[in-house]
Structure formats: structure tokens, C-alpha cells
Amino acid sequence: MTPLVPTPVAPRYPDRPDATVTVIVHNDAARLPRAVASLRRQTHPGIEIIISDDHSTDGTPAVARRLAAEDPRIHYLRLPDNSGGCSAPRNRALEIARAPYLMFLDSDDELPANAVELLLAAHRERRIDFAMGAVRRIRVDNGHRSTWMPHLVAERRTVRGIEADPRLLFEHLATSKMYARSFLDRHGLRFPEGIHYEDQLFSAQAYCLAKSFTIIPQPVYHWYVDPYADAGAASISNQRHKLTNVRDRVHVQRLIDEFLTESGHESLREDKDYKFLKHDFRMYAGDLPYRDEVWLASFARIVTPYLDSLEPGAYARLPRPERVVLQLVRDARLAEAREAARGLGHAVAPRQVTPCPEGEATYWGDRVPGTIWARRELDVTDLDLDARPFPSALFRHEITELTPGPGASLDLTVRTYDPGLRLAVGPQRAALLLSPGRRRLTLPFRLDPVRPGVFEGRVHVDLAAAPLPLHGFDGIRHPVLRIGQQGLAHTGVLLAPPDFPALTTRTAHHRVTVEPEGRAPGRLQVRWRPAGVTAHLIRPVARGIARPTVRRAARLVAGVLRLR
């Protein structure tokens, strides 16, 4: 007798969904299925999925129609023309969304499986205007995971108006939130069309209009970040090299300022200005060392009028190095602004400081600033250049010349600036340190005085001598420079010329590339990539090792191969 085979039954979903999640997409056929799959996996199945296509011209329409045919919860909406932004596809989806709660997802990102369930639970717990959770940032190039603005989402809490915690203005993502449809409709709140950085304006309006909202600490959004994406494929926020990007960001800030005034939230202006300086401008500041003079001049013309309009208290809340960069831009001292920006976040000293004739202050650079405001902002007395404990003293180590040598070697000329005059007169003992594995390569050399507060030396670096792990090394390391004095040691970053071409060579089992970092301060960067037997035999074996006996065997194989 032939056994009966049960007929597959399609899952039944509620006629009225509890939440609508809109996926906006434009020419992203490859990643759209991943985004939609993350919605189909939701632990709360009663959702509506709207794929809102901003008139894609690749294979996206075919992919979207196939996905809609596979799941009755999915609806495909195609805009008749490309809007060039995120707002229009979100707003068109809002017009047809059927659920009382709404979320938004970009096609290159995902929702964790329980995101809808968690945020719906927050709404059902008490009457709120929106719920928000943590955003998990995932680096596409290396898989590294981190939480976006973790201090703001560290604990579960309900906030009664943004004035209760203005720091939340930093969390300006529209995608990390689930909104009550009634809240958006009551205030006519929609995404502003025809501009970029729409999330910042929309979120500022939502924060100010909401009577209460709940924060949960669990991740509700997976944000994939690709720092090395091609310029054409990079997100708007990763197109900071475009001056139109700068103009768009400043324009949105002005719109937010107008909204704060019109809505009676002017008391938030200093907090909002601080957010702009600490987050938005800070991103551009990290790029300044890699911009040419023409770009810098245009950048200054765009941002300076807006910087001049910000609340003085916002500047006072910044660390001194950031205030220095801002003021140098405002004073059109652009070459110095580029120099100052290379030290942000890495405890790097200026090349030169100038004491006030009255002896009450020390200023960045080679002159006393000409205005009272500039003297306040460029006063680096609080950096304690001449009084910090030696291990945390501020120096500046720059490579002024890099010469390839035989094999995998190179010669570096290093100049050290000591504006606080912490180093004794005469030659200094120094060492370059490089640690691609557990053991460290230490290369001693001498720094000779050039003039007071400036030293220079040469160091020979043989990368073939770097002690790599037996299973090889696949990654990047940044050499550091160590100086000793009276039994104490100071270690600082080593800045590379930002424009020297990458140098690639081959050691016994690796390809090694020496290059400038290309971002942030632009440290010297050494990149190893396994090659030969290390890449094709030793590392695959090492990754699969689970038992000590196998580990010993792998080490034995690696040792034999290295003896050849």
C-alpha cells in the first residue's frame, strides 16, 4: 500500500498585519533577497512586507516580483521615476501600509530575527509613540561587530520627551525604530523629499513631537558598513569626498534649526549643535589630511558660515584637539587644519606651539591668534605639553622619507616633534615596534637633535625578520615608536606621508604591503597576506584544529616547511 504523503499547507497569516516593514531598494538585486529573508524569519510572523523600489534599472524588479510570489505577506511597489533618495520610496509605502506599526529597512541591511517581536512588545507594554533598540554595525570587509551609540541603548527605559535625554539626538537613524502609525499621521510626519540626510531631520522631528518613547537594549537592526566600497556604490554618508555631500549635510542642519525654533524646542539648540560638531563635522575632520588645497578651500567656504552660527557652549564641550581643527578651518588656516586633524583620537602633539607674550597661555601653531575667540579655541595650555607624566606625554612622530631596500626591507627617516620640550638635550634612544604575532619585532635606532624640540633619525626595517605565527598571519599592523627616558617608556603612533605609493613585496610565505593608512591620522600600515603553502595548507589546517595533538602535528608540519 502506498503511504500517504501529506500535502504541504501554506502558513496562514492574519488578515490584518501587526506591523509593516518597508524595504527600500534601488539597483540592489544581489542583496535584496538577504534583506527580505531576514523579515521572513521574524519570530512574529504577522507582518506585512513592502518592497519599495526607487525605479531600479538592474535586475531588482524581477527579484522583487519573485520574492512577492513566494510569500503572500510581500507586496512589490515600484516608483514610476527615480527619486534619488530614501524619502520617496518610504513615503509611497506609507500610503499603502495596512499595519498600525511601521518599520523601515534598507536593502543592504537586515533585521535580527526577533526585532519585530521585541519592538511590538514595547508598544503593547504601554502607549508610546515609537520604540527603538540597539543597532549592530557589521563591517563587510572583516566581519567586526560593534554597537552603534551603545551608551544610549544600554538599558531598557521609557523617555518622556527628548528634553529628558538630549543625547539621543546622536541616534538619528530612522531604521532602528518602530513607529505608531497614529503618531506619524497625527503630526503629518513624513520623510522630507528631495534632500539627503533625511533621517536626521525626520528623527529630530520625531524626537521632538513624541510625548514618550521606549528604548530597549537588544539589537533590532543589522547595519552593514563597507568602508572600502566603490565611490559609485557607497552610501550617501560614505561619499564625504563630494562637496555636494557637505552642502547637503549643512542644509539639513539648517532645516533642523528652523524646526527647533518653530516647534518651541530652541532649548535643544546647544545639544543639537554639539551633536553636529562631535559627529557630523568630526567625520569630515578625519578626512582633511587627504584632501587637496582646492577641496579644503571649498569645504571651508561651505561650512564656516554655519559654524559661525552655532552655540558657543557646543564648542566648549568638545575635546581641545577637535576645537583646534574647527578653529583652524574657520580661520582659513587650512594646511594647519590638515596637520591638526592627523592627531585626532591618537594623542598626537602639534609640530609647534607659541607662548603668549604675557606667559598665561600656549597656542597652537607659529603665532598668537588674532581674535579673542580664536585665542580661546587655540589655547592648548590644557594639554599640559610640558607637565604630563612621561608615558602619556604628547609627541608627534612623522616619516619624512621612505626608501625601498633589498628584499622586503625599507629605510625610514623619522622626525619627532617635542613641543613641550620633554626630551633631554642630545641624542635620544628610540625603537620601532611591530607585532604581527605574539612576538614583537624591535628595531632600535637613534634620534638626533635638529633644533630645540625637533629630533630626526633613520631606521632600517626588514619585514622578512618579523616573527610571524607558525600558521602565518593575515591582517594589518601599524608600527609604533617607543622612546625611553629615566626608566620610563613612551609609545606613540607613527604617521606616514599620505601620498606615498603602496610598496608590495614577497617574503617566504607571505605577500607584504607597506602603505599609508588612508584614513584617520594616516599611520604607517603593514599588511600581510599568506601565500604558497602557508595559504593553501597550513592555515586551512590550523583553522580546523580542535585537539592539542592535531595542533602539535600542524606545528611540526609548519616547522619542516620553514626549514626548506
Q: CATH number for the domain including 182?
A: 3.90.550.10
17-27 mean pLDDT:
98
pLDDT confidence of residue 360: 85
Amino acid sitting at position 15: D
Rounded percentage of the chain residues whose pLDDT exceeds 70: 91
- The cell numbers describing 72, all together, are 503572500
| Per-residue model confidence as pLDDT tens digits over 77-134 | 999 999 999 999 999 999 999 999 999 999 999 999 999 999 999 999 999 999 999 9
Number of domains in the chain: 3
pLDDT confidence of residue 498: 85
Judge whether residue 6 has pLDDT over 80.
no
Q: Among the three residues 227, 250, 284, which one is the final residue of a domain in this structure? A: 227
Judge whether residue 49 has pLDDT over 50.
yes
What are the φ/ψ torsions at residue 317 (nearest 5 degrees)?
A: -85, -5
Q: Place 239 in a pLDDT band, splitting at 50, 70 and 90.
A: confident
Rounded percentage of the chain residues whose pLDDT exceeds 90: 79
Q: Are residues 379 and 475 in the same domain?
A: no
Q: Give pTM, 2 decimals.
A: 0.88
Judge whether residue 266 has pLDDT over 50.
yes
Q: Are residues 219 and 367 in the same domain?
A: no
Cα gap 176→133, rounded to integer Å? 6
66-87 mean pLDDT:
96
| Per-residue model confidence as pLDDT tens digits over 134-153 | 999 999 988 899 999 999 99
Cα gap 455→282, rounded to integer Å? 31
Range in 250-264, 380-394, 439-453, 532-546 the model is least confident about: 532-546
Cα gap 485→313, rounded to integer Å? 40
SS3 content of the chain, % helix, strand, coil (to 5): 35, 25, 35
Mean pLDDT of the chain, nearest integer: 91
- The answer as to whether 10 is a domain residue is no
Rounded to whole angstroms, what are the CA distances from 331 to 124, 373, 469?
Answer: 53, 11, 50
pLDDT confidence of residue 241: 80
Residues 432/524, Cβ–Cβ less than 8 Å: no
Cα 169-52-14 angle, rounded to 5 deg: 95
- The answer as to whether 295 is a domain residue is yes
| Per-residue model confidence as pLDDT tens digits over 178-206 | 999 999 999 999 999 988 889 999 999 99
The domain in which residue 23 lies consists of 19-227
- The answer as to whether 545 is a domain residue is no
Q: Among the three residues 227, 258, 274, which one is the final residue of a domain in this structure? A: 227
Q: Are residues 89 and 175 in the same domain?
A: yes
